[in-house]
Structure 1
């Protein structure tokens, strides 16, 4: 008779995403066995796209896994590894970060005893993001030595207020990876069937591609239903993304980019500020924002804005000559943009290293909350190598 085994886990919301969190010692050491286990936990691959038989929620924002453990870096408290799980295919993309779930890493680390917080006030948690080799500092509110999860901070895209968690994404100014991997602030892409496309290819937060909305025949005010029902548009967006992945040296060919690297680079589109009605029903005024922005995630339009997408937008906004600063009409170090669920404020500090630009810091606020902790269950056969 087939039996099931329990795997310790914590289910958390971070920003506008949800994911299943683990410590490394809760999972098999073998990465192949580990990935098979994680796929089964979230319910992938699922040809029905609903992940009914797993913890995933049938969207890119709710089909994520996180591993947090003691840090390998002397100046950090914890290592944070993020996996974007494909819904339809047996693939976990470990190539990038999730900025939204970053906000839950500090609270998880404190609850697990990986970080000892002060009795009251703000606990500074220094996070090493292993996917992109970057340091992030989270300020987590605590009271009585425990994480404060309730509060009055409102994050568009999240139904209920919670405690604010400021995040600072740091970049090593001595790093070898160029922010603009092709050496250009703006590229002219020649993709078959599309004609010339102006794009900024950038490494900030995650590898990203930034284009004007008009490139895709869009206004920049669209919401998920309009975009995600248009299969031809999604195919064009994926073609741009896959071609840019090759240009950025992240895939050998476009087929591999689509099949093996669906999480990064991400494609975002921007336009000059325009009024629109967000998915919540609130009206976003053009006078209240500097820019309209939307981003694709795992083949669909994101319901809000990825945290790393916000980092990339902030970085590009602060540097003259990118698609974003050109649409803005000037470079800006503080940006308020409109996304499908509302608005978001993000700031960036940049500097030049020789002829290259470097983002030294990007700041924004998120919130996080534990939704459940205990055990997830998987078939015994999948955990045979857990203690190997």
Structure 2
């Protein structure tokens, strides 16, 4: 069969990497088959496609001009599985959201000033939420060079501020989908205490100590522990079923591998990160989050947004273990270092917005090839 092609860009957003493509570039039929071929999935190295062989480098953003009032750009996120012929559209990715406004500007989807800061209003179709994104434009294109530093990416880059408005209840079950701040569920015969919170994405929070870990682990510590991986996926799969996303826990890993997310949290503490030392006084909470059944090498931005909100909401497990700040800025300690997230919490029952600052870079643009026959299908 002859190859087909589409125009796209290979992009880095925050600490993730993937493909950004205009919706009208995609084939009308067999779309997922084409995209799996484009990424080279399923294959653990994605050797026959553009994917990077890990969950954080196998991500998709589909971008289009919006017809909604007050919205400039619509977009949809897809988590492309490395090992299975699956694309999970169940939630959003905050790191890759960083590229959406810049991609739209550079593709001439919207008009912006030639120089200075611009703000683009986005609509995420996965979670049905509005997002404002502010960044610098130089010569009619998005600035890339700057002095903003994020842990997990070498060097510095141009700052992109992303604010998620009314970010709760993305799965339409409220801020607390189980209507309580701490829930106890039976998971394979054992009781597990957890907080399930839905802010930008639903996240299951469990105390690290309840899982027999410290919360300071690095990817090699977790990813080489099959017993722990199985245990934490059982917890996530049980919640996935209780939320009605899948019919049974056995279905969760295949049908909804990326959502809900699951994180384990601990008090602020000193630890050796992948690229340096983190001290207890620098952070408000120590946390680790899973990504497609392995430890995220940094921290998912949507998960970080939810973690920040949980830290500020009284009675949640993150709030119990954290040194909760007086202001709305939460410093989160992750495997690569730390991350700042601003959360606007009104009272103890409403999250008005969360803001995260990241950097981005367009790595390559042009014609990419795919076939309609993918490995494993």
**Normalization by structure 2: what TM-score?**
0.95
CA deviations 1:298-344 (Å, max 9, x no partner) are 00000000010111101111210111111125475221011001100
Native 8 Å contact 1:290 1:336 kept in 2: yes
Three-state SS of the structure 2 residue aligned to 1:367 is strand
Greater Cα offset, 64-73 or 362-371? 64-73
Greater Cα offset, 119-128 or 176-185? 176-185
- Aligned-residue CA RMSD (Å): 1.7
In structure 2, relative to structure 1, the CA distance for the partners of 1:243 and 1:380 (3 Å cut) is closer
Matches within 5 A, 1:139-178: 139-171=134-166, 177-178=173-174
Q: 2:362 aligns with which of 367, 370, 379?
A: 370
Matches within 5 A, 1:1-388: 2-30=1-29, 33-46=30-43, 49-171=44-166, 177-193=173-189, 195-280=190-275, 282-328=276-322, 330=324, 333-351=328-346, 357-379=349-371
CA distance in 2, matches of 1:189, 1:366: 36
Structure 2 unaligned runs (5+)?
Answer: none
Three-state SS of the structure 1 residue aligned to 2:349 is strand
Native 8 Å contact 1:68 1:79 kept in 2: yes
CA deviations 1:59-99 (Å, max 9, x no partner) are 11001111000114211101110000111111100000000
Three-state SS of the structure 2 residue aligned to 1:61 is helix
CA distance in 1, matches of 2:158, 2:201: 26
Structure 1 unaligned runs (5+)?
Answer: 383-388
Native 8 Å contact 1:325 1:331 kept in 2: no
CA distance in 2, matches of 1:146, 1:330: 40
CA deviations 1:259-305 (Å, max 9, x no partner) are 1000100000110111111112x111111111111000000000000
CA distance in 2, matches of 1:171, 1:29: 32
Greater Cα offset, 322-331 or 163-172? 322-331
